[in-house]
């Protein structure tokens, strides 16, 4: 490589200067921490996947080979698995609009004069989320529900000047894991209250909350699908001038239940259910909503509506001084990137269904169908209903007379993705299974599942 070609990156001269600057002699010195036995120390030779040749494949050969592999995939499974990632139907119009280059390719709209379309789309998303939660301000997005939970807790701490946060064991276990990772270090006092009949133990909450508590976080519907927060939780929290954070992982439930009707101060969570595919677990859509009086401590970008110098409606980012690109050490959050494209998917989805359509989707095709499945399955011998006397949305728990992992393998043979083995996260709930029903699960699917469970009861799993 010639050193006099400036537009070709990393010449020998460039390498020498960089190595000298960082104080090493050669590139291999950078890998000193990696044991020799873990290094390849030779050229990587990729064997051909085709037996007829050892030569690398051309693009067309590789494409054909990958198509052969993908043809083995199955896409006709019926899903009864939820637990934080939901198999909802995404109208084709959502993906159609998402792929428009004007939406798909732009970066952060720092210059409002050239980004009015993107900014208006975010403003509409914020408006719809506020209508669903009953709150007044929404951010434009966060990474996902778990980081939204973390950011909501930090927001509450900034608002109250306190460092004690109380969570519930009925919150999604993986969310709690992320939460504890964030708060493991630093001057934080994190408490977790237990479960009573599938819900947060309110007596234990009353024993743990104090004047030092910044916020109490309760998920509703919780990890077991049960609706929480309707039994005076807000009264307990507000008695100590703490903030009540309602965590929502299945946002379709917001079409029927407004968290503010039960005293929530902040609503945070995951909006994957609104037009975002499961996509092997991400990327998804975190959100936080709050009252106007709390907005100065709200993390993430916020789009506001204003007027330009000609008196025309215009949109712009509000309160940029709260953000990392202005003042990192004083930023409300150090998560700089956002999920505006995922928020756009939610905006299109919500616009497509409208208020009435969303209510019907949530009520008739999710909640009512889930209750049908609950009644059907709980009548099967051994599948006794669990956490009874609780209201639930589209997920429910039953006992399982078999090993859940083995049962789910058998269900796969019938093109059914079974429920979640709760023993994976809660050893005390071994042989309990969490089923989920969405609009993509119809009555025939539920009847088929029930028939197979009956058959496996009679004939065994072997």
Q: What is the pLDDT of residues 156-197, one digit of tens each?
A: 999 999 999 999 999 999 999 999 999 998 899 999 999 999
Q: Does a structural domain hold residue 51?
A: no
Whether 168 and 142 have beta carbons less than 8 Å apart is answered as: no
- What residue numbers bound the domain in which 163 lies? 92-349
Whether 152 and 143 have beta carbons less than 8 Å apart is answered as: no
Domain match, 322 and 363 both: no
- The reported pLDDT for the residue numbered 112 is 85
Q: Does a structural domain hold residue 65?
A: no
Q: Does a structural domain hold residue 57?
A: no
Question: pLDDT averaged over the chain?
Answer: 92
- The reported pLDDT for the residue numbered 18 is 92
CATH number of the CATH domain containing 294: 3.40.640.10
What's the pLDDT tens digit per position in 396-439? 999 999 999 999 999 999 999 999 999 999 999 999 999 999 99
Question: Model-level pTM?
Answer: 0.87
Estimate the crossing angle of helix 340-362 against helix 116-133, to 10 degrees. Answer: 40
Q: What is the DSSP letter of 56?
A: P
Domain match, 290 and 371 both: no
What's the pLDDT tens digit per position in 60-89? 888 888 898 888 887 789 999 999 999 999
Whether 319 and 302 have beta carbons less than 8 Å apart is answered as: yes
Does 44 score more than 50 pLDDT? yes
Closest CA to 227 of 356, 362, 83, 395: 395
Domain match, 174 and 40 both: no
Domain match, 344 and 363 both: no
- The reported pLDDT for the residue numbered 325 is 66
Give the mean model confidence (pLDDT) for residues 112-119: 89
CA 68 – CA 239 distance, rounded (Å):
63
Domain match, 137 and 275 both: yes
pLDDT band at 42 (very low <50, low <70, confident <90, very high): confident
Element (H, E) at 304: strand 302-307
Count of domains forming the chain: 3
Q: Does 66 or 213 have the greater pLDDT score?
A: 213
Grouping H, G, I as helix, E, B as strand and the rest as coil, residue 8 is: coil
Does 329 score more than 50 pLDDT? yes
* Number of residues assigned to the chain: 462
Domain match, 299 and 198 both: yes
Does 1 score more than 50 pLDDT? no
Tell me the two tokens of residue 321.
Answer: 């001084």
Whether 290 and 268 have beta carbons less than 8 Å apart is answered as: no
Q: Does 332 or 304 have the greater pLDDT score?
A: 304
Domain match, 332 and 374 both: no
């Amino acid at each position: 490589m010639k050193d006099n070609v400036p537009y070709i990156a990393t010449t020998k001269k460039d390498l020498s200067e960089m190595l000298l600057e960082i104080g090493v002699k050669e590139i291999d010195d950078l890998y000193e921490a990696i044991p020799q036995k873990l290094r390849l120390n030779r050229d990587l030779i990729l064997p051909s996947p085709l037996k007829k040749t050892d030569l690398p494949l051309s693009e067309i050969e590789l494409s054909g080979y990958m198509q052969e592999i993908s043809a083995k995939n199955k896409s006709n499974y019926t899903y009864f698995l939820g637990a934080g990632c939901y198999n909802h139907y995404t109208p084709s119009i959502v993906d159609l609009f998402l792929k428009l280059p004007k939406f798909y390719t732009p970066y952060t709209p720092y210059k409002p004069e050239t980004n009015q379309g993107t900014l208006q789309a975010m403003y509409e998303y914020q408006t719809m989320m506020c209508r669903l939660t009953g709150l007044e301000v929404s951010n434009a997005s966060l990474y996902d529900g778990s980081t939204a939970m973390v950011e909501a807790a930090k927001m509450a701490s900034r608002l109250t000047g306190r460092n004690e946060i109380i969570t519930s064991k009925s919150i999604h276990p993986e969310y709690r894991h992320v939460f504890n990772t964030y708060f493991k270090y630093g001057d934080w006092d994190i408490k977790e209250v237990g479960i009573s009949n599938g819900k947060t133990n309110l007596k234990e909450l009353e024993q743990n909350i104090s004047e030092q508590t910044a916020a109490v976080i309760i998920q509703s519907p919780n990890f077991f699908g049960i609706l929480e927060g309707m039994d005076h939780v807000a009264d307990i929290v507000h008695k100590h001038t703490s903030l009540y954070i309602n965590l929502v992982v299945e946002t379709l439930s917001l079409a029927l239940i407004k968290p503010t009707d039960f005293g929530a101060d902040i609503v945070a969570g995951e909006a994957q259910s609104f037009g975002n595919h499961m996509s092997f677990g991400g990327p998804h859509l975190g959100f936080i909503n709050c009252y106007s009086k709390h907005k100065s401590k709200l993390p993430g970008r916020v789009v506001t509506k204003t007027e330009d110098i000609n008196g025309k409606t215009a949109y712009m980012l509000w309160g940029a001084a709260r953000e990392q690109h202005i003042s990192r050490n004083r930023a409300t959050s150090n998560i700089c990137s956002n999920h505006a494209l995922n928020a756009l998917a939610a905006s299109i989805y919500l616009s497509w269904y409208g208020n009435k359509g969303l209510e019907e989707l949530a009520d008739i095709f999710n909640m009512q169908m889930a209750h049908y499945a609950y009644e059907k399955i709980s009548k099967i011998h051994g599948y006794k209903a669990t956490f009874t006397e609780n209201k639930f949305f589209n997920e429910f728990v039953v006992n399982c007379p078999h090993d859940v992992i083995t049962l789910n393998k058998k269900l796969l043979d019938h093109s059914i993705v079974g429920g979640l083995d709760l023993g994976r996260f809660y050893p005390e709930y071994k042989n309990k299974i969490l089923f989920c029903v969405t609009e993509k699960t119809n009555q025939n699917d539920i009847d088929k599942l029930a028939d197979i469970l009956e058959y496996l009861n009679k004939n065994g799993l072997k």
